[in-house]
A and B are shown apart, each in its own frame.
Chain A
Amino acid sequence: MKFRLAVLAVAALGVLGLAQPIKIGCLLEFTGGCAAYGQMARDALEFARAVGIVPTEVLGRPIELVYFDARTEPTEAATGATRLIQVEKVVAIIGTMCSGPFLGAAEIVQAAGVPMIGPTTTNPLTTQVGDYLFRACFTDDDQGPVAADLALSFFGAKTAAVVIDVAQAYCVGLGKYFIEAFEALGGKVVATLYCRTGDVDYTAQLTEIMRVNPDIIYTPNYYTEVALMARQARDLGLTQPILGADGLYAPELIEIGGAAVEGIHFTTFWHPDLATGIALRYVEEYRKYFGRDPDAFGALAVDCYLLIVDAIQRAGSADPKAIKEALQTADLEVITGRTIMTPQGDPIKDFVFLKVENGQFVYATMIPAARAAEIKKLMGK
């Protein structure tokens, strides 16, 4: 009798233990400068789990997402990471969307030994902090050269003017990488102009651009600044093509920019037209669920989720260290295509080139990851 009771108790404990949820932290920006990206990520994660596109349990245990607002501030991200790890006991973290807050949390996450994947943190520094830090996207020191190559080959531009938002690490970095590559590949940057996040008047910079009359304008800035600048550029009669970067892929670009952003091209991570495999259903269901096209930010957040779940599956445990080791060798078909992770935490990813046409983001062309390496070789790197 005693023996049977003991067996029952052990079994009950086992079942309870197994049913304990595995917690994954979502350290995302719901307020502050990157609020749009964080909200898109949460929408996509909640949707993907609700309609069953992604598994909601692994190793027989349910997966629970714990959200935390990183407020686009490094301090808040740091506090958030501590709370998620210490109080919520998460085994891995998805986030943050922007590189600044990511760096704020990076040291803490590394010290605690919990893997963290930034869906769209393109700053090359972010994964250098340690081996527990990953990203699901390409880096800016590849994106800048790819944009420079497109400016030269796709647009046939010989001269370029660059407008950089100096208040954003992302914009400053990308701008410098572009200038470096554009000049190394034979182009000439005739004007480098600066603005700051929240600036609303670009007439001074644009008048200077009118004076030097470049073949193309490169603005690696966030969507609001570019939308306002494009409006004023078209009002002033500037007709040069405008080339941007992944920060533009938000509906606000078109809402605020209106007709002025027609024809803007930019490099980014993904577009729904490229969907294959699991992504086909994702796109279809997303359109039904939200009545709008899915975006790259949400798709990459879901990618992070899939990568973590796959790592737990392959590691056969929800131990953070095991997850980290499994992540380093990940090779998985996710929403944005095949993702092969490198031990440094930077995956090999293709580049997508989009344009705005009739108030829609339209797929223009695709640049394979191998091309980025070639361009860098051409630059003599």
Chain B
Amino acid sequence: MATYLQQLLNGVTLGSLYALIAIGYTMVYGILRLINFAHGDVFMWAGYWVFFLVVLFHLPWWMAALCAVALTALMGVAIERVAYRPLREAPRISLLITAIGVSFLLENLIIVLPWAGGRQKPYPTPAFMTQIYQAGNVRIQGVTIWVPLIAAACLLGLIFLVYRTKVGRAMRAIATDTETTALMGADINRVISYTFLVGSALAAVGGILWGCRYPRLQWDLGIMPGWRAFTAAVIGGIGNIVGAMLGGFLLGLAEILIVAFLPGLSGFRDALIFAILIFFLLFRPTGLLGKPLKEKV
């Protein structure tokens, strides 16, 4: 029993991390119809920002974490501004190729930075995250409690932002119909910048918490979580924020359960993730919660 509970908690922790990253994919896709290849690398950079701020500038952890969220969010906005905005009118494929380029750039920048480099770095983890709580047979680490709580708070905040504020309304309007929204007088570019700001900030929260759970920094650490989160977004119905959260939790649980109960398959785990992704794209492209997308002719 204790084992099941333990596994369940692990699944929830992992799932909430995926949910935080998946939001960024889903919001950007909803508005730009772009699969932001670089999103996983933005997530990775958040962990490095904390590392830089703590190790190089000796900031206290909480201050470093807050600054890291801000810096990562600004980075997301800057990427959109420099690399994606000039291609607004270009074919969508050009946008995707640029996104792949940005992704490679972000990864390799880490490798050439003298204080990061190709070698792994230890992520500074605060004490309250590593604290162990014992309840009967179940041992719970601080991370396991804090990650779902912080994630839930962020997601509630996001839902408020999207459904109860003016910017949120503009985001939803653009996702439905860009041209009409522009005609109605909304500043499209500003709203898109906001979208990248919010998506990257959530990815940053995800990256910072990810570091607390798995305290290792490396240039490629964003790739696989990125793809899993993207799969989560597709499962939930891409473009749908609640769906991304749902997909994240489902995928996190599924991943832990597969490895726990079918250990023989753990070598194939990444293949399974991609098989699920392809399956959904082919047979249920709208995901579990998504509405059918209008084909733009």
Interface residues of A (CB under 8 A from B): 30-32, 35-36, 39, 166, 193-196, 198, 200-201, 203-205, 207-208, 210-211, 223-224, 227-228, 231, 235-237, 252, 255-256, 258
Contact = CB atoms under 8 A, between A and B. Distances in A.
Given A203-B7, A203-B256, A224-B216, A236 B120 contact: no
A235 B139 contact: yes
A255 B6 contact: no
B118 A195 contact: no
B263 A224 contact: no
A204 B260 contact: yes
Nearest to B255: A201
Given A201-B14, A227-B216, A236-B139, A207 B3 contact: yes
Nearest to A236: B139
Interface stretch (B24-32, B81-89, B217-225, B238-246): B217-225
A227 B7 CA distance: 21
A204 B256 contact: yes
B6 A236 contact: yes
B122 interface: yes
B119 A208 contact: no
Contacts, number: 88
B interface, how many residues as a size bin?
Answer: 35 or more
A30 B215 contact: no
B111 A31 contact: yes
A203 B259 CA distance: 9
Given A201-B10, A204-B259, A211 B139 contact: no
A205 B214 CA distance: 15
A256 B122 contact: yes
Contacts of A211: 3
Contacts of B210: 200
Contacts of A252: 119-122
A189 to B, nearest CB: 14
Nearest to B225: A200
A201 B256 contact: yes
B120 to A, nearest CB: 5
8 contacts: A35-B118, A200-B216, A203-B260, A204-B7, A204-B256, A205-B259, A231-B215, A235-B139
Q: Which of B6, B10, B221, B259 has the most CB of A within 10 A?
A: B259
Contacts of B14: 201
Contacts of B259: 201, 204-205
Contact of B117 (A35, A207, A208, A235): A35
Given A224-B120, A256-B120, A256-B216, 11 more contacts: A166-B267, A194-B267, A195-B266, A203-B6, A204-B7, A207-B260, A208-B263, A210-B3, A224-B218, A235-B130, A235-B132
